[in-house]
Amino acid sequence: MLTIWGRADSSNVQALMWCVAELDLPHRRIDAGHRFGGTDTPAFLAMNPNGTVPVLQDGDSPPLWETGAILRHLANRYAPDSFWPLDPHARADVDRWAEWAKINIALGFTGPVFWPVWRFPETLDPPALDRALATLTDKLRIAEDRLHRHPFLRGDTLTLADIQFGHVLYRYFSIDIARAELPALAAYYGRLTLRPAFRKHVMVSYEALRA
Ligand SMILES: N[C@@H](CCC(=O)N[C@@H](CS)C(=O)NCC(=O)O)C(=O)O
Protein backbone atom coordinates (compact mmCIF):
# COMPACT_ATOMS: atom_id res chain seq x y z
CA MET A 1 0.00 0.00 0.00
CA LEU A 2 1.27 3.44 -0.96
CA THR A 3 0.59 6.53 1.13
CA ILE A 4 0.84 9.87 -0.65
CA TRP A 5 0.77 13.22 1.09
CA GLY A 6 -0.30 16.11 -1.11
CA ARG A 7 -3.31 18.07 -2.29
CA ALA A 8 -5.03 16.97 -5.49
CA ASP A 9 -4.46 20.35 -7.20
CA SER A 10 -0.67 20.32 -6.88
CA SER A 11 0.85 19.72 -10.30
CA ASN A 12 3.54 17.46 -8.85
CA VAL A 13 0.98 15.46 -6.90
CA GLN A 14 -1.04 15.18 -10.11
CA ALA A 15 1.92 13.68 -11.97
CA LEU A 16 2.39 11.17 -9.17
CA MET A 17 -1.28 10.28 -8.85
CA TRP A 18 -1.62 9.89 -12.61
CA CYS A 19 1.31 7.48 -12.57
CA VAL A 20 -0.10 5.56 -9.59
CA ALA A 21 -3.43 5.21 -11.38
CA GLU A 22 -1.86 4.18 -14.71
CA LEU A 23 0.07 1.48 -12.86
CA ASP A 24 -3.09 0.55 -10.91
CA LEU A 25 -1.31 0.62 -7.54
CA PRO A 26 -3.27 0.43 -4.25
CA HIS A 27 -2.89 3.73 -2.45
CA ARG A 28 -4.34 6.33 -0.14
CA ARG A 29 -3.79 10.07 -0.51
CA ILE A 30 -3.77 12.50 2.39
CA ASP A 31 -4.48 16.17 1.63
CA ALA A 32 -1.51 18.36 2.59
CA GLY A 33 -0.02 21.66 1.48
CA HIS A 34 -1.45 25.06 0.48
CA ARG A 35 -4.85 25.59 2.18
CA PHE A 36 -4.68 22.16 3.84
CA GLY A 37 -1.43 22.98 5.66
CA GLY A 38 0.28 20.20 7.58
CA THR A 39 3.61 20.57 5.78
CA ASP A 40 5.35 22.60 8.49
CA THR A 41 4.83 20.18 11.37
CA PRO A 42 7.83 18.36 12.87
CA ALA A 43 6.33 15.05 11.73
CA PHE A 44 6.01 16.22 8.11
CA LEU A 45 9.42 17.93 8.06
CA ALA A 46 10.96 14.70 9.33
CA MET A 47 9.59 13.06 6.18
CA ASN A 48 10.47 15.96 3.88
CA PRO A 49 12.66 18.81 5.19
CA ASN A 50 11.58 20.92 2.20
CA GLY A 51 8.01 21.07 3.50
CA THR A 52 6.67 20.39 0.01
CA VAL A 53 4.35 17.86 -1.57
CA PRO A 54 4.24 15.16 -2.71
CA VAL A 55 5.74 12.73 -0.23
CA LEU A 56 5.39 9.01 -0.78
CA GLN A 57 5.67 6.16 1.67
CA ASP A 58 5.81 2.75 0.06
CA GLY A 59 5.03 0.14 2.70
CA ASP A 60 7.53 0.32 5.55
CA SER A 61 10.29 1.98 3.50
CA PRO A 62 11.43 5.47 4.54
CA PRO A 63 9.40 8.27 2.94
CA LEU A 64 10.53 9.70 -0.38
CA TRP A 65 10.25 13.24 -1.71
CA GLU A 66 11.10 14.86 -5.07
CA THR A 67 8.51 13.87 -7.66
CA GLY A 68 10.96 12.66 -10.29
CA ALA A 69 12.64 10.33 -7.81
CA ILE A 70 9.28 9.06 -6.57
CA LEU A 71 8.11 8.36 -10.11
CA ARG A 72 11.31 6.49 -10.90
CA HIS A 73 10.99 4.48 -7.69
CA LEU A 74 7.46 3.40 -8.64
CA ALA A 75 8.54 2.64 -12.18
CA ASN A 76 11.57 0.61 -11.02
CA ARG A 77 9.43 -1.38 -8.66
CA TYR A 78 6.09 -1.77 -10.34
CA ALA A 79 6.01 -0.70 -13.99
CA PRO A 80 6.01 -2.90 -17.08
CA ASP A 81 8.80 -2.73 -19.63
CA SER A 82 6.60 -0.69 -21.96
CA PHE A 83 6.46 2.13 -19.39
CA TRP A 84 10.03 1.96 -18.03
CA PRO A 85 12.23 -0.37 -20.07
CA LEU A 86 14.64 -2.77 -18.44
CA ASP A 87 17.22 -2.30 -21.15
CA PRO A 88 19.54 0.47 -19.84
CA HIS A 89 19.74 2.41 -23.08
CA ALA A 90 16.02 2.22 -23.74
CA ARG A 91 15.42 3.33 -20.16
CA ALA A 92 17.78 6.27 -20.57
CA ASP A 93 15.91 7.21 -23.71
CA VAL A 94 12.66 7.42 -21.73
CA ASP A 95 14.45 9.15 -18.88
CA ARG A 96 15.97 11.89 -21.02
CA TRP A 97 12.48 12.86 -22.22
CA ALA A 98 11.21 12.74 -18.64
CA GLU A 99 14.03 14.99 -17.46
CA TRP A 100 13.67 17.26 -20.47
CA ALA A 101 9.96 17.64 -19.75
CA LYS A 102 10.46 18.39 -16.06
CA ILE A 103 13.13 21.04 -16.67
CA ASN A 104 11.83 22.69 -19.81
CA ILE A 105 8.09 22.20 -19.81
CA ALA A 106 6.96 21.80 -16.19
CA LEU A 107 9.39 24.39 -14.81
CA GLY A 108 9.06 26.57 -17.93
CA PHE A 109 5.29 26.70 -17.55
CA THR A 110 4.48 26.68 -13.84
CA GLY A 111 6.52 29.59 -12.44
CA PRO A 112 6.84 31.86 -15.48
CA VAL A 113 3.35 31.32 -17.02
CA PHE A 114 0.80 29.67 -14.72
CA TRP A 115 1.64 31.67 -11.64
CA PRO A 116 1.39 35.19 -13.15
CA VAL A 117 -1.58 34.32 -15.35
CA TRP A 118 -3.59 32.39 -12.79
CA ARG A 119 -2.21 32.25 -9.27
CA PHE A 120 -0.79 35.73 -8.75
CA PRO A 121 -2.23 37.96 -11.50
CA GLU A 122 -0.99 41.07 -9.68
CA THR A 123 2.55 39.97 -10.65
CA LEU A 124 1.69 39.72 -14.36
CA ASP A 125 4.28 41.48 -16.50
CA PRO A 126 3.11 41.14 -20.13
CA PRO A 127 6.58 41.40 -21.77
CA ALA A 128 7.97 38.83 -19.31
CA LEU A 129 5.02 36.55 -20.03
CA ASP A 130 5.60 36.89 -23.78
CA ARG A 131 9.23 35.92 -23.30
CA ALA A 132 8.30 32.94 -21.12
CA LEU A 133 5.74 31.75 -23.68
CA ALA A 134 8.25 32.12 -26.51
CA THR A 135 10.80 30.03 -24.61
CA LEU A 136 8.17 27.44 -23.74
CA THR A 137 6.89 27.30 -27.31
CA ASP A 138 10.41 26.68 -28.63
CA LYS A 139 10.56 23.61 -26.40
CA LEU A 140 7.02 22.52 -27.24
CA ARG A 141 8.02 22.54 -30.91
CA ILE A 142 10.52 19.79 -30.10
CA ALA A 143 7.65 17.73 -28.69
CA GLU A 144 5.50 18.70 -31.67
CA ASP A 145 8.09 17.29 -34.06
CA ARG A 146 8.34 14.12 -32.00
CA LEU A 147 4.56 13.68 -31.70
CA HIS A 148 4.10 14.00 -35.45
CA ARG A 149 5.99 10.75 -35.70
CA HIS A 150 4.94 8.88 -32.52
CA PRO A 151 1.71 8.73 -30.51
CA PHE A 152 3.66 9.18 -27.27
CA LEU A 153 6.87 11.00 -26.45
CA ARG A 154 9.10 7.98 -26.60
CA GLY A 155 7.20 5.87 -29.11
CA ASP A 156 4.10 3.71 -29.22
CA THR A 157 3.27 3.42 -25.52
CA LEU A 158 2.76 5.71 -22.55
CA THR A 159 5.98 5.97 -20.53
CA LEU A 160 7.24 7.82 -17.51
CA ALA A 161 8.26 10.61 -19.90
CA ASP A 162 4.60 11.23 -20.78
CA ILE A 163 3.75 11.53 -17.09
CA GLN A 164 6.38 14.25 -16.60
CA PHE A 165 5.30 16.00 -19.79
CA GLY A 166 1.58 15.44 -20.16
CA HIS A 167 0.45 16.51 -16.71
CA VAL A 168 1.37 20.11 -17.57
CA LEU A 169 -0.88 20.19 -20.62
CA TYR A 170 -4.27 20.41 -18.90
CA ARG A 171 -3.33 23.79 -17.47
CA TYR A 172 -1.45 24.83 -20.59
CA PHE A 173 -4.51 24.21 -22.76
CA SER A 174 -7.08 25.59 -20.33
CA ILE A 175 -5.70 28.91 -19.07
CA ASP A 176 -6.10 32.15 -20.99
CA ILE A 177 -2.82 32.49 -22.91
CA ALA A 178 -1.77 32.81 -26.54
CA ARG A 179 -0.90 29.31 -27.73
CA ALA A 180 1.09 28.53 -30.84
CA GLU A 181 -0.44 26.30 -33.53
CA LEU A 182 0.92 22.87 -32.58
CA PRO A 183 -1.47 20.30 -34.05
CA ALA A 184 0.38 17.14 -33.06
CA LEU A 185 0.69 18.39 -29.49
CA ALA A 186 -3.03 19.24 -29.42
CA ALA A 187 -3.89 15.77 -30.76
CA TYR A 188 -1.62 14.16 -28.14
CA TYR A 189 -3.32 16.17 -25.41
CA GLY A 190 -6.67 15.05 -26.81
CA ARG A 191 -5.55 11.42 -26.55
CA LEU A 192 -4.44 11.95 -22.94
CA THR A 193 -7.82 13.40 -22.04
CA LEU A 194 -9.40 10.08 -23.05
CA ARG A 195 -7.41 8.21 -20.38
CA PRO A 196 -9.45 7.69 -17.19
CA ALA A 197 -6.36 8.12 -14.98
CA PHE A 198 -5.52 11.46 -16.62
CA ARG A 199 -9.10 12.68 -16.35
CA LYS A 200 -9.32 11.76 -12.70
CA HIS A 201 -5.98 13.03 -11.44
CA VAL A 202 -4.80 15.74 -13.84
CA MET A 203 -7.99 17.36 -15.11
CA VAL A 204 -8.61 18.78 -11.66
CA SER A 205 -9.93 22.28 -10.96
CA TYR A 206 -7.23 24.79 -10.07
CA GLU A 207 -9.75 27.42 -8.98
CA ALA A 208 -8.67 27.16 -5.33
CA LEU A 209 -5.11 28.19 -6.29
CA ARG A 210 -6.14 31.70 -7.30
CA ALA A 211 -4.57 34.01 -4.72
N1 LIG B 1 11.00 19.67 -6.74
C2 LIG B 1 9.87 19.28 -5.94
C3 LIG B 1 8.92 20.46 -5.87
C4 LIG B 1 7.79 20.21 -4.87
C5 LIG B 1 6.88 21.43 -4.78
O6 LIG B 1 7.33 22.58 -4.93
N7 LIG B 1 5.61 21.15 -4.54
C8 LIG B 1 4.64 22.23 -4.41
C9 LIG B 1 3.29 21.79 -5.00
S10 LIG B 1 3.39 21.45 -6.74
C11 LIG B 1 4.41 22.56 -2.97
O12 LIG B 1 4.65 21.75 -2.09
N13 LIG B 1 3.92 23.79 -2.73
C14 LIG B 1 3.60 24.23 -1.40
C15 LIG B 1 2.27 23.75 -0.90
O16 LIG B 1 1.51 23.09 -1.64
O17 LIG B 1 1.98 24.03 0.26
C18 LIG B 1 9.18 18.05 -6.56
O19 LIG B 1 9.31 17.87 -7.79
O20 LIG B 1 8.55 17.26 -5.85
Ligand 1 nearest-atom number relative to CA 66: 20
In a shared domain, residues 98 and 137: yes
In a shared domain, residues 97 and 51: no
In a shared domain, residues 47 and 139: no
How many residues are given for the chain?
211
Query: Which residue, 26, 53, 78, sits at the end of a domain?
Result: 78
Contacts with 183 (C-beta within 8 Å, 6 or more apart), sequence order: 144
Determine whether the shortest distance from the Cβ of 11 to ligand 1 is under 6 A. yes
Residue 211 pLDDT grade (very low, low, confident, very high; cuts 50, 70, 90): confident
Q: From ligand 1's centre to the CA of 47, what distance in Å? A: 14
Determine whether the shortest distance from the Cβ of 48 to ligand 1 is under 6 A. no
Q: From ligand 1's centre to the CA of 34, what distance in Å? A: 10
3-state secondary structure of 49: coil
Q: Nearest C-alpha to atom 1 of ligand 1 is from which residue? A: 66
Query: Which residue, 78, 106, 135, sits at the end of a domain?
Result: 78
- Residue 175, pLDDT > 80, answer yes
- What one-character-per-residue DSSP string does 129-163 give? HHHHHHHHHHHHHHHHHHHHH-SSSSSSS--HHHH
Q: How far apart are the first and last CA of the chain?
A: 35
Phi-psi sector, 64: left (phi>0), alpha (psi -120 to 50), beta: beta
Residue 147 pLDDT grade (very low, low, confident, very high; cuts 50, 70, 90): very high
pLDDT tens track for 181-208: 999 999 999 999 999 999 999 999 999 9
Which amino acid, one-letter code, is at 46?
Answer: A
Determine whether the shortest distance from the Cβ of 98 to ligand 1 is under 6 A. no
Residue 16 pLDDT grade (very low, low, confident, very high; cuts 50, 70, 90): very high
Q: The CATH number of the domain where 30 resides is what?
A: 3.40.30.10
In a shared domain, residues 120 and 102: yes
pLDDT tens track for 75-117: 999 999 999 999 999 999 999 999 999 999 999 999 999 999 9
Print the domain residue range for 167.
88-202
Determine whether the shortest distance from the Cβ of 14 to ligand 1 is under 6 A. no
Ligand 1 nearest-atom number relative to CA 10: 10
Residue 23 pLDDT grade (very low, low, confident, very high; cuts 50, 70, 90): very high
- The arithmetic mean of pLDDT across residues 160-171, rounded, is 98
In a shared domain, residues 120 and 23: no
Beta-strand (E) ranges in the chain?
2-5, 27-30, 55-58, 64-65
In a shared domain, residues 144 and 66: no
In a shared domain, residues 66 and 156: no
CA dihedral in degrees (25, 27, 30, 32; nearest 10)?
Answer: -20
- The arithmetic mean of pLDDT across residues 12-25, rounded, is 98
- Provide the percentage of residues in the chain whose pLDDT is more than 90: 100
Determine whether the shortest distance from the Cβ of 99 to ligand 1 is under 6 A. no
Determine whether the shortest distance from the Cβ of 52 to ligand 1 is under 6 A. yes
Q: Whole-angstrom Cα distance, residue 116 to residue 119?
A: 6
